[in-house]
């Protein structure tokens, strides 16, 4: 399917910046959600005939999502991923749990919300990931606004905290021979200064699309560790109740379906939820 080439339309990003609308970027986002080529062409044509100067990327996303959802449920769930993470609540705890699962897919054992002693003061570390004699000390910067990048102040602060912890741990026999990496994980993005500072100090920076090809969205899609907020068959109230109990990832539901019982769903609704998760993860649960 081909569409008439529209005149150049400038759209508004979450940061407030304007850029020309790119059909190719929209196509790429739909391809990552495994949408069929025919469906992609239909949605792109619809968006091209609908958009106007100054429209926000959020409104474009919302329309594309609704069009996709009307055609293919589980594909729409994948496309919704970025928004779904921003719907994980304002406590930050569910995001920390998500990041711990991301680390586990890379072979690390994890702990969350741990208070540790530094050489000078104590620190609460959001996620500690350990594999062999390597330990990652991660600070999670969760945001519900895509327009707020992580500034260089954050890696400056995290690096100093990690240095204080490492100086203490180097004195402890149980950490003999260990090497440590400071980490910042965010669901938004880093400023260029943040990236430069992180690289200079050998920090692990993980953002929505950074590092390129191995960012948060790539790891989640590749390993199918979707948050429960992508699900259509649960209300926001249902999702919040589950997250309050530490049920943050879809896999946790299928691993122990009894976690749904307190929601008092009908048998049909329960089966619909489990079926949606199985389809979303291609039956690999």
Chain centroid, CA 69 distance in Å: 20
**Chosen domain end from 79, 103, 135:** 79
Task: Answer for the pair 138, 127: CB distance below 8 angstroms, yes or no.
Answer: yes
Report yes or no on 88 lying in a domain: no
Three-class SS state of 55: coil
Residues 136 and 123 in one domain: yes
Report yes or no on 122 lying in a domain: yes
CATH assignment at residue 118: 3.40.1350.10
- Cα→Cα distances 197→154, 155, 174, 188, 262, Å: 10, 7, 30, 17, 46
Phi, psi of 82, rounded to the nearest 5 degrees: -60, -45
Report yes or no on 85 lying in a domain: no
Please, which residues bridge with residue 227 across strands? 249
CATH assignment at residue 255: 1.10.150
d(CA 85, CA 93): 12
Question: Closest Cα to residue 147, out of 200, 179, 187, 192?
Answer: 187
Report yes or no on 73 lying in a domain: yes
Residues 97 and 122 in one domain: yes
Which residues, at least 6 apart from 141, have a Cβ–Cβ distance to it below 8 Å? 150, 154, 184, 185, 186, 188
Strand ranges (E), 81-162: 109-117, 122-131, 134-141
- Burial classification of residue 38, based on how many CB atoms lie within 10 Å of its CB (0-12 exposed, 13-18 middle, 19 or more buried): exposed
Rounded to the nearest 10 degrees, how much is the dihedral formed by the CA atoms of 218, 224, 225, 228? Answer: 110
pLDDT at res. 193: 97
**Chosen domain end from 22, 55, 79:** 79
Range of the domain at 238: 224-280
Report yes or no on 84 lying in a domain: no
Residues 207 and 248 in one domain: no
User: Strands 204-206, 109-117: parallel, antiparallel or unpaired by DSSP?
Assistant: unpaired
Residues 44 and 101 in one domain: no
Report yes or no on 152 lying in a domain: yes
Residues 117 and 64 in one domain: no
Residues 171 and 197 in one domain: yes
pLDDT in tens, the chain (285 residues): 446 555 689 999 888 889 999 999 898 888 877 677 878 888 898 898 899 999 998 899 888 888 877 766 556 666 678 889 989 988 889 999 999 999 998 999 999 999 999 999 999 999 999 999 999 999 999 998 877 899 999 999 999 999 999 999 999 999 999 999 999 999 999 999 999 999 999 999 999 989 998 999 999 988 999 999 999 899 999 999 999 999 999 999 999 999 999 999 999 999 999 999 988 876 443
Residues 57 and 154 in one domain: no
Task: Answer for the pair 142, 92: CB distance below 8 angstroms, yes or no.
Answer: yes
Phi, psi of 185, rounded to the nearest 5 degrees: -120, 130
Residues 173 and 209 in one domain: yes
Q: What are 185's two structure tokens? A: 């994980």
Q: How many domains does the chain have?
A: 3
pLDDT at res. 75: 66
Report yes or no on 285 lying in a domain: no
Residues 97 and 217 in one domain: yes
pLDDT at res. 283: 45
Residues 211 and 229 in one domain: no
Residues 218 and 100 in one domain: yes
- Cα→Cα distances 242→68, 110, 182, 250, 263, Å: 27, 21, 30, 11, 9
pLDDT at res. 172: 97
**Chosen domain end from 201, 223, 245:** 223
pLDDT at res. 66: 82
Report yes or no on 4 lying in a domain: no
Residues 161 and 216 in one domain: yes
Task: Answer for the pair 159, 201: CB distance below 8 angstroms, yes or no.
Answer: yes
């Amino acid at each position: 399917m081909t569409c008439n080439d529209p005149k150049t339309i400038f759209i508004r990003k979450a940061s407030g910046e304007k850029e020309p609308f790119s059909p190719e970027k929209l196509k790429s986002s739909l391809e990552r959600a495994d949408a069929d080529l025919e469906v992609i062409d239909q949605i792109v044509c619809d968006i091209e005939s609908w958009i106007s100067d100054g429209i926000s990327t959020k409104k474009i996303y919302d329309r594309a999502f609704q069009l996709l959802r009307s055609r293919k449920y589980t594909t729409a769930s994948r496309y919704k991923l970025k928004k779904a993470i921003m719907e994980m609540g304002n406590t930050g705890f569910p995001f920390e749990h998500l990041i711990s699962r991301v680390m586990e897919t890379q072979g690390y054992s994890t702990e969350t919300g741990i208070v540790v002693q530094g050489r000078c003061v104590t620190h609460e570390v959001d996620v500690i990931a350990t594999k062999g004699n390597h330990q990652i000390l991660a600070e999670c910067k969760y945001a519900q606004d895509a327009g707020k990048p992580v500034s260089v102040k954050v890696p400056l602060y995290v690096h100093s905290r990690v240095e204080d912890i490492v100086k203490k741990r180097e004195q402890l026999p149980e950490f003999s021979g260990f090497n440590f990496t400071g980490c910042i994980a965010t669901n938004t993005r880093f400023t260029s200064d943040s990236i430069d500072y992180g690289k200079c100090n050998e920090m692990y920076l993980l953002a929505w699309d950074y590092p390129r090809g191995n960012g948060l969205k790539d790891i989640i899609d590749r390993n199918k560790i979707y948050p429960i907020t992508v699900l259509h068959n649960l209300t926001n109230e249902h999702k919040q109740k589950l997250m309050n109990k530490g049920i943050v990832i879809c896999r946790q539901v299928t691993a122990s379906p009894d976690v749904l019982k307190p929601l008092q769903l009908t048998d049909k609704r329960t089966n619909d939820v489990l079926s949606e998760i199985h389809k979303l993860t291609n039956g690999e649960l």
